[in-house]
Amino acid sequence: MKYIIVTGGVMSGLGKGISMASIGRILKDHGYKIVPIKIDPYINIDAGTMNPYQHGEVYVLGDGTEVDLDLGHYERFMDVKLGREHNITTGVVYSAVIERERKGEYLGHTVQIIPHVTDEIKARIRKVATKGGADVCLVEIGGTVGDIESMPFLEAVRQMKLEEHENDFLFVHVTLVPFTTLHEQKTKPTQHSVKALRELGLQPDIIVCRGKEALKEDVKEKIAMFCNVSPGAVISAPDTEDIYEVPLLLEKEGIFSYIKERMRLKQLKEDHAWERMVERRKSCDDKKNFIAIVGKYAELEDSYLSIKEAIKHAATELGCKVDTKWVEAEDLKGEKDAHSLFYDVHGILVPGGFGARGAEGKIKAIEYVRENKIPFLGLCFGFQLAVIEAARNVAGLKDANSSELYETPHPVIDLLEEQRKVVKKGGTMRLGDYDVFIRRDTLAEEAYGKKKIVERHRHRYEVNPEYIETLKREGLVFSGTDRTGVRMVILEIPQHPFFFATQFHPEFRSRPNRPSPPFKAFLEACLRVRPI
């Protein structure tokens, strides 16, 4: 088994996750079976309770684990299916150790960070690495070198390096090379962060240097010299317009040749499908799509990261470019606001969300698209609000609402009895991949081309079964349900050019070379209905 460990220096948000996802993609394209692990040194067990304002979107895995958005990058770039064991947090590690201590399994020893916590970390990494028969296991250690929380993890990988064969272990350090106003590239922050790493007994093999522009040759040499790596192992990773280009850029910089030689990898094969996809994206300029996303965290685009990526995937396939207007839901008050915000867009997307703030604004937006026949895609909360809007303005149930938001005589969106029991037991949401059954002769069937699909979920509330008949009578079509037929999970309005909403989150299963069907159908409708 071979291991590549990715650490970060200088500051967070440098694109460490994308660097690791790109290295994984490169290895995969050369024929290697890879498995990624994300270590999040925070104390939370998982990202389920985290505020998207602080951390960006909560990504959901197939098995329902709520994780950091980097796992979304891994699934998209490496095209792998990940689960709970691929995300190791301090919370997970310490709970396991404490549980074992309570059971007396440490046989009276004092339980310590070294060796007990570090052993637990190593065992978890090795278990995931060997389970699926991968050739290379990639481990990203979240945070920045020097953070208190990441110490036990860095110590664990230091020990692992000694325990594994020298050719089987490689460290990649991602740092920042800032510019001065005089356009000088400064290496000191990189030197300092490598120094911090070396103080912990870790020597990077490869240094990936992020920055606005490509590294100058003499700067590369300087970093190599001061950080004790060979010049070929200093990789320049300047900003790119398109993140999907990063694997190609890193490969051009020689990262694979270096890894291959250092880890004694054989040349297996070369797959160029990714490269072709990136090429296709470059030529997507002629047709332009302009859509609005009406959200609560609209000012923080990272909270809708997977949606942004899913839009890109679909656009690439359709050969179009999409410009997005981020609209803060609370800015929508009346018909006038809706018109001034949306008169020039080709389609409107209302994403997932929680809580009452902004909900009325989103409902206003949905009313506007329904009445003005503008293509609409509603996701999760967006689906629920579309049901509320139709109940109020089409079925005449004036105070229809979701019981998540307000007490109402018409809770058209409500907790099902089954979910109440889950919540009582301390569970939270309906999470992860579930089968969806699709009705014949609907937009959903046209989009998916299948009778049964799998999509990823993250919600508590459902369309209240008591109102389904009333809503159907008013022209709403529920074209997808769960296995039992009790949960309505896709909504469409046939008398509208494209009004489509899903209780699930199709964005999580979208891949650069395999766009999500609802996103593709939505963008197609935008081009068709309001062409430029």
Task: By CB under 6 A, name the one of 86, 364, 459, 509 that touches ligand GLN.
Answer: 459
Q: Does 456 bind ligand GLN (CB under 6 A)?
A: no
Structure token digits, residue 85: 């064991």
- Of 173, 410, 459, 505, the active-site residue reads 505
- CA–CA separation, 415 and 401 (whole Å): 12
184 is catalytic: no
Closer to ligand GLN at the Cβ: 48 or 115? Answer: 48
Binding segment for ligand GLN (CB under 6 A), chosen from 156-164, 261-269, 341-349, 457-465, is 457-465
Residue 380 near residue 307, CB atoms below 8 Å? no
Q: Which of 317, 507, 524, 526 is catalytic?
A: 507
457 noted as active-site residue:
no
Element (H, E) at 277: helix 273-282
Residue (of 238, 227, 527) closest to 375 by Cα position: 527
Say whether residue 354 binds ligand GLN (CB under 6 A).
yes
Smallest gap from residue 352 Cβ to ligand GLN (A): 3
Residue 88, SS3?
strand
Distance CA 447, CA 519 (A): 9
Please confirm, yes or no, whether 380 is among the known catalytic residues: yes
- Output the CA–CA distances (angstroms, integers) from residue 145 to 9, 184, 402, in the order listed: 5, 25, 45
C-beta closer to ligand GLN: residue 368 or 381: 381
Which of the stretches 75-83, 144-152, 326-334, 352-360 binds ligand GLN when contact is defined by CB under 6 A?
A: 352-360
CB of 500 to ligand GLN, least distance (A): 16
Return the number of the residue (394 or 429) whose C-beta is nearest ligand GLN: 429
Q: How many chain residues interact with ligand GLN (CB under 6 A)?
A: 11
**Listed residue (304, 367, 299) closest to 332, CA to CA:** 367
* Per-residue mark of binding to ligand GLN, 364-393 (x: CB under 6 A): ----------------xx--x---------
Q: Which residue of 460, 496, 509, 520 would you call a contact of ligand GLN, by CB under 6 A? A: 460
Residue of the chain from 15, 353, 361, 480 that contacts ligand GLN (CB under 6 A): 353
Burial of 398: CB neighbours in 10 Å, binned 0-12, 13-18, 19+ = exposed
Residue selected from 404, 433, 492, 524 as contacting ligand GLN according to rule CB under 6 A: 404
Residues 6+ positions from 378 with CB-CB distance below 8 Å: 349, 350, 366, 385, 386, 491, 500, 501, 502
Catalytic residue among 380, 389, 455, 526: 380
Which of the stretches 11-19, 72-80, 188-196, 350-358 binds ligand GLN when contact is defined by CB under 6 A?
A: 350-358
Q: Which of 461, 500, 519, 522 binds ligand GLN (CB under 6 A)?
A: 461
Q: Which of 352, 361, 506, 512 binds ligand GLN (CB under 6 A)?
A: 352
Measured from the CB atom, is 88 or 292 closer to ligand GLN? 292
Q: How many CB atoms lie within 10 A of CB 438?
A: 21
CA distance 181 to 345: 39
- Judged by CB under 6 A, does residue 509 bind ligand GLN? no
Smallest CA-to-CA distance from 84 within 124, 53, 57 is with: 124
Stated as kind and residue range, the H or E segment containing 97 is helix 90-102
Q: Work out whether 458 is an interface residue with ligand GLN (CB under 6 A).
A: yes
Q: Determine the Cα–Cα distance for residues 123 and 132; give it in Å rounded to an integer.
A: 15
Q: Contact positions toward ligand GLN, by CB under 6 A?
A: 352-354, 380-381, 384, 404, 458-461
Q: Which residues are catalytic?
A: 380, 505, 507
